[in-house]
Copies of this chain bind each other. A is one copy, B any other.
Amino acid sequence: MTKLELPALDPNTVPEVRRSGYPEPYRSRMGDRAKRRLGDACGLTRFGVNRVTLGPGAESALRHWHTLADEFVYVLEGEVVLVSNDGEQVLSAGTCAGYPAGKRDAHHFVNRSNAPAVYLEIGNRIDGDNAFYPDDDLMWCENEEGTYAAHKDGRRY
């Protein structure tokens, strides 16, 4: 294939990022999760688009919902389990899910299969957006220096 030039992009040329912004013990729970930040690589600022590979056992995120950002996921390869308030559903390649901003239906993907799963995740970038985690002892707080992770009783991680 001829090398693509922006505005086009071959996702395989975008570096994989394995970081997580969560404090421990949550960071480690993400497991074998690698993201390629395709939207950033194209210069987008108003929403993010990541192509994510989840190895067996890995999780997309802690189960969460966003206050101001819509989110959308489209499964490209393999199979993931969507966990949301109403329970679990298996999503295979070619299926999708969408999470409207402000809807208190916390969600995440878990890869319970024996093969990698690949999906696109899209979310608005909106100032003041927050995320809540009903299953876990984590919340985001803000002071003059910025945002920090805290226990739900307010103690810092």
**Which A residues are within 8 Å of any B CB, using their own CB?**
1-2, 4-11, 38-39, 41-47, 49, 69-70, 72, 74, 76, 82, 84, 86, 89-92, 94-101, 103, 105, 107, 120, 122, 124, 126
Contacts and interface: CB of A to CB of B under 8 A. Distances in A.
B47 A124 contact: yes
23 contacts: A1-B92, A2-B89, A4-B91, A5-B86, A5-B89, A7-B82, A7-B97, A7-B98, A7-B99, A8-B95, A8-B96, A10-B95, A39-B72, A41-B98, A43-B100, A44-B98, A45-B100, A46-B69, A46-B70, A49-B74, A49-B122, A120-B120, A124-B124
A75 to B, nearest CB: 10
A107 B7 contact: yes
A47 B47 contact: yes
Residue picked from A47, A70, A96, A122, most chain B C-beta under 10 Å: A96
A107 B10 CA distance: 17
Q: 8 tightest A-B contacts by CB?
A: A42-B98, A46-B70, A8-B97, A44-B70, A43-B100, A7-B97, A44-B98, A8-B89
Contacts of A74: 38, 49, 74, 120
